[in-house]
Amino acid sequence: MKKIISILVLSLIFVQCNSDKKLLITKNNLGDIHKNTTIIELDQMFSNDSIVKLPENAPVYKKYIVFNHEGKQIINVKFDVKRDTIQGIENIKIFDAAYTTEKGLNTASTFKDIANNYSISKVEPSFSSAVVFVDEVNITIALDKKDLKIEEFDMRKISKDQIPDMAKIQYITLWFD
């Protein structure tokens, strides 16, 4: 009986670790997704979710957007397309907090979590966000300018010191080399 219980516990731990890896953000991987993951493989990975491929009815898709059963956007995959051929995945925007880095960073985290766990290489403004660069994981993190008390379309330089600890993450973009 003890052997059976031990085997069950080990199986559960293995399944849990395996499912955690499917949600892990690492340099050049989002779980099982890597630069050369195909649309067919993405279709299999997200078979239980709602998928939008853009442009619709095109011979080559440039974007692949995944929504969960509640209609919430999970990820947005942008393909590197040259001469009507997919060269691989360029980046993935991550909106779902289930995806997390090894240090626990996800879209439910705050700027303080970023600063406490990673070296920030730079911060750049966009029209509606402050974009934080984390080279260690090859990600950029969009923070809403409203949380920074900066007006939209203000393109002045933003320093790390201007960002409040509680600034929330809009999304994380994983870039592929």
pLDDT score of 145: 83
* Of residues 61 and 19, more confidently modeled: 61
Q: What is the mean pLDDT of residues 58-68?
A: 93
Q: In which band, very low, low, confident or very high, does the pLDDT at 16 lie, cut at 50, 70 and 90?
A: very low
Domain boundaries, the chain: 99-177
Least confident segment among 2-11, 46-55, 124-133, 146-155: 2-11
Three-state DSSP at 79 gives: strand
Cβ 126 vs Cβ 156: under 8 Å: no
Q: Please report which confidence band the pLDDT of residue 5 belongs to, taking 50, 70 and 90 as the band edges.
A: very low
Least Cα distance to 88 among 131, 33, 138, 44 occurs for: 33
Q: Could you tell me the pLDDT band of residue 17, with boundaries at 50, 70 and 90? A: very low
Residues near 107 by beta carbon (within 8 Å), at least 6 away in sequence: 94, 95, 96, 97, 99, 169, 170, 171, 172
Is pLDDT larger for residue 146 or for residue 45? 45
**pLDDT tens figures, 109-121:** 999 999 999 999 9
As beta bridge partners, residue 123 has 132
Helices and strands: H and E segment counts in the chain: 3, 12
| Local confidence band at 48 (pLDDT 50, 70, 90 cut-offs) | very high
d(CA 112, CA 127): 22
